[in-house]
Amino acid sequence: MKKFLFLIFLSLTLVSYSQTYTQPTLGIAGEYIGACMTATCTGTFTDDGGGGGGNYSNAINGIYRTFCPNAPGQCMRVCFNMINFHVSNCIPGNVPCDVLYVLDGPTQNSPIITVLDYTANGTTPCFTATSASGCLSFRFFSSTANNAAGWSATISCVSCTANNIVDNNDCISSTAICSNASFSGASIGPGTSSEGCAGCNTSEHFTNWYKFCAQTTGVLQFLIDPTVNTQDYDFALYGPNVTCGTLGTPIRCSYAAGGGNTGLRAASVDNSENVAGDGWVAPLNVTAGQCYYLMISQWSAGGAGFTIDFTGSTTSLNCLVLPVELINFSAVPEIKGVLTSWTTASETGNDHFTVERSYDGRDYISIGTLVGAGNSSSTLNYSFEDKEAMPGLIYYRLRQTDWNGSSTTSSPVIVRYQPGRGTMYFVPNPGHDRTDLIYNAPASSKTSIKIYDMQGIQRFSGSVVCENGINTIPLSLDKLEAGIFTVVLINDQEVLESRLEKQ
């Protein structure tokens, strides 16, 4: 069941300090999760007794906590330094055994890696996440009569391919909603930042973040419709005019248990609800110019996705993140750098654009400036090549500055750069009935192309002969339903992976 009802480096002392995280004993907000998702790649993890400092508590009923990497391209690794569970003659995994479930993912229903009980006493095993989220969760049961010294473990991260897909799982990489048209989404995990743990919302699980602004004053309503109606989706709405670093408490939120539709509708009067709610909260009166963040969270792995519909809203939504009318902003890795491109539909008083780069999604530096058109009502295309990009995941954003000196920035785009190797991307993406896979091959070779859905099921397999340089490979999407897919390209030179959405 989902729910129930009732690195810090101290420069002054030159000493490394490691945070200690303890296993919770009680669930929060009527759930089995006992603490917000922790995004970290360092620390110590112990039972509530302190990992040998004292015994763990009795009668802990399957409460769990989750650790996720704080950077893309990483997976959690936890190595136990000490294990000491009470010796009891019972079946491991059944209460009243004292057992710790190690789970491959960010929820209590994630796949079980192992179940540790008294038979593991004295051992020092290590466990590494392999799920797409890169997260590990730990769920503990203890008996009502006996206890022991528990455990202590070291938290770290390792480079991996499982957590390489960067999507809108964090607020900082929110997807812009540009109109009242319905759209679909899906998620691989909670991202690399611990957010959305205030008010009725308790933690992130499999999240999608969106940003939108009210173009006209009116009433906001929406419906979140799971593709599989039994799957459980929750949401939290933040604003108006907050930032990812200052989200605060949601102004609308539903964390109701069970599956089915959820959202904002006219018949509801409550602003937020916990697990005991019915899935619906009150509409929101919005004013033109106000902007909001929306987090949609799916409870368990393998979600088939959702569609969000704004029927009933009397406000018009837009995504004008710059004073100019920005149609798109993208970054594409090349063999010797990253090419950033953007298009404007109109410009008013636009002095210049600045391309900014970051390797952690937080600290940005300016890497290039292009003169704006000033005033324009025509479609204009711009590009800037980053020839000094370092290998790895890179965040790019666009800053636009007016003649009067005021400036605004776009939402970031994220790419993985591997110098000297091939690159691939899709045009268009999202696609409808077809798309072109653009592959910059480092050498001629026979190349396999495989498409997987969000459950990891292969939906397409084929092969082509690619020549050295740019190859355009048409892909038919007719037999795929709307949703998010992973495309894997394999040849004797490399293995590449990218995200494709069908609308």
Q: What is the pLDDT of residues 26-70, one digit of tens each?
A: 988 778 888 989 999 999 999 999 887 899 999 898 999 999 998
CA distances from 140 to 89, 164, 447 (A): 18, 29, 46
Q: Domain end: 159, 189, 209, which one?
A: 159
Same domain, 14 and 130: yes
* Residues 292 and 428 occupy one common structural domain: no
Question: How high is the pLDDT of residue 323?
Answer: 62
Query: Residues in the chain with pLDDT < 70?
Result: 1-18, 88-96, 162-166, 301-303, 320-323, 335, 419-422
What are residue 22's DSSP bridge partners? 46
Give me the domain span that covers residue 85: 8-159
- Spatial contact of 91 and 167, defined as CB atoms under 8 Å apart: no
- Same domain for 276 and 183: yes
Check if the beta carbon of residue 147 is closer than 8 Å to that of residue 86: yes
When divided into structural domains, the chain yields a total of: 4
DSSP-derived secondary structure for 295-323? EEEESSTT---EEEE-TT--SPEE---SS
Say if residue 296 is in the same domain as residue 368: no
Contact status, residue 493 vs residue 441, Cβ threshold 8 Å: yes
Of the candidates 105, 130, 159, which is a domain's last residue?
A: 159
In a domain, 115, yes or no: yes
Q: Do 310 and 225 sit in the same domain of this protein?
A: yes
At 109, give phi and psi (nearest 5°). Answer: -100, 10
For residue 322, how far is the Cα from the chain centroid? 24
| Residues 53 and 109 placed together within one structural domain of the fold | yes
**Residue 200 placed within a domain:** yes
Same domain, 485 and 397: no
**What is the SS3 assignment for 119?**
helix
Cβ-contact 341, 375 below 8 angstroms? no
In a domain, residue 1? The reply is: no
Is 323 a domain residue? no
* CATH code of the domain in which 87 resides: 2.60.120.290
**Residue 114 · residue 98 · CB < 8 Å:** no
pLDDT at 404: 76
**CA dist., res. 329 & res. 342, Å (int):** 4
Asked, for residue 164, whether it belongs to a domain, the answer is: no
Question: What are the residues facing 350 on neighbouring strands?
Answer: 374, 402
Q: State how far Cα 352 lies from the chain centre.
A: 32
User: What confidence tens digit (pLDDT) does each residue in 184-232 have?
Assistant: 888 888 888 888 787 787 788 889 999 898 988 999 999 999 998 888 9
Asked if 54 contacts 10 with a C-beta cutoff of 8 angstroms, the reply is: no
Give residue 457's Cα distance to chain centre.
Answer: 21
Looking at 353, 381, 410, which one is the last position of a domain?
410
One domain for residues 444 and 495: yes
Q: β-pairing, 392-402 with 407-409? A: antiparallel
Same domain, 12 and 155: yes
